[in-house]
Amino acid sequence: MAVHENANRSGSMGSITRRIALAMVIGLTLASAESASAARICGDYNRDEDITAADALGALRAAVEVVECARDLCDFTGDNVITSRDALAILKTAVGTGPEPNCPVAG
């Protein structure tokens, strides 16, 4: 009887191990899909895929070095530095009067 109980235990341990492995694969797949879907849009400081005044504020905070922001997100004017001009251009874009974005390509 003890041999049968050990066989059942090892069988259920294998089942648990397979379930854990499957859950990990599903979790990694979902995380990869979320990362891929979060496109990097020039001017989208908070990466919500919408250019708003909040993005302009983020770029302005980056310009005065309160926060960090990647140039491919916040260097809206494409002059290789993040300045208040970038924040203003992002704000103008948020209200529909801004220039075309000119961020450098992520490297």
- pLDDT at residue 64 in the model: 97
Task: Annotate 54-87 with DSSP letters as a single string.
Answer: HHHHHHHHHHTTSS---HHHH-TT-SSS--HHHH
Tokens matching residue 76 = 């809206």
User: What gap in Å lies between CA 64 and CA 83, rounded to an integer?
Assistant: 8
pLDDT by residue for the chain (107 residues), tens only, comes to 555 555 455 556 677 767 766 555 565 544 444 444 467 899 999 999 999 999 999 999 999 999 999 999 999 999 999 999 999 999 999 999 999 999 998 76
- pLDDT at residue 16 in the model: 73
Alpha carbon distance, N-terminus to C-terminus of the chain: 63
Q: How many CB atoms sit inside 10 A of residue 65's CB? A: 8
Q: How many CB atoms sit inside 10 A of residue 47's CB? A: 13
CA atoms within 13 A of residue 42's CA, in its CB half-sphere: 18
